[in-house]
Structure 1
């Protein structure tokens, strides 16, 4: 079993709940990667995605976790690889606010994404300070199915929101 955790825009592997979740999964036998991608949502996705695909091995036993910009990245990744499960935390597929979002593609092949992941989860907050809210989760859920979970937990961690543990996500991954 393998898990790859993709941090959000401006993040790194050592912030928020990423180290905590990585350790929890390792303790259960997962091989875990939490790669640093400082250019996530800075470089255009068309040039950024090939490096991500080349840097990791994906298979039907892989679990993907993405937070914010990392969740948006997962949509592009899932057009190219087949995995077991994907967890998009504070994810979005359209412009969530007025900021540039080079991680977004102009369109997605929703049928291909759906066929490349056995089960997909969307975890969003009712309100999110960046617009990565329940409406964004619902838009992806409506196209892909899976499970949508709506909380009231802001952005699930950010520079001004401590979120050092994520027990719900840990339980869902199992």
Structure 2
């Protein structure tokens, strides 16, 4: 079995921030082929034009695991809705499906087909924090969980990594992935 993981960074970030390089290394050691694309226009370009580029840049199958942080987690919702084959797992860290604050959020769709999202992933995890400074909090996680099912995990860990929050490792995410 050729297992693959695709890790999506957050808004204004890149693949070498916070725990993303560490997770790439952990998954590679476990035999995963890991993709960690850099999408500088994530959450700057409207999802209607951005999503087709993302879908064209990757292949998805039953051995694929998707991991996203913040804006990258919000992107996973659109990916899951629009792919035509189920993936193994999706882990949305500090994700959201509605505007979490007053900033523009072009990564969000106007609405979601929650049945399609849940039909396109075997195991779906929402990891949110009660004290997320950007509003990507446990209430956002609860909304997604109630609509798509899966597993919601609530922590008190800020944004799980940011400019002022060093977060070099994230053992929980590593443990969740088969």
- Deviation by residue 1:131-169 (Cα, 9 ceiling, x = unmatched): 000000000000011100001110000111100100111
Partner of 2:165, secondary structure, is: coil
Cα distance in 1, alignment partners of residues 81 and 136 from structure 2: 21
Aligned position for 1:56: 58
Using the size of structure 1 for normalisation, the TM-score is 0.99
Aligned position for 1:94: 98
How far did residue 119 of structure 1 move? 0.9
Q: Say whether residues 1:65 and 2:67 are aligned partners.
A: yes
Using the size of structure 2 for normalisation, the TM-score is 0.97
In structure 1, which of residues 22, 32, 35 is the aligned counterpart of residue 34 of structure 2?
32
Cα distance in 1, alignment partners of residues 172 and 123 from structure 2: 16
Cα distance in 1, alignment partners of residues 89 and 64 from structure 2: 7
Structure 2 unaligned spans of 5+: none
Aligned position for 1:47: 49
Cα distance in 2, alignment partners of residues 35 and 141 from structure 1: 26
After superposing on structure 2, the runs of 4+ consecutive aligned residues of structure 1 that deviate more than 6 Å are none
Q: Say whether residues 1:140 and 2:149 are aligned partners.
A: no
Cα distance in 2, alignment partners of residues 173 and 60 from structure 1: 14
Aligned position for 1:5: 7
Cα distance in 2, alignment partners of residues 172 and 58 from structure 1: 19
Aligned position for 2:76: 74
Deviating more after overlay: 75-84 vs 60-69: 75-84
Q: Indicate the RMSD between aligned Cα atoms, in angstroms.
A: 0.6
Aligned position for 2:132: 128
Structure 1 unaligned spans of 5+: none
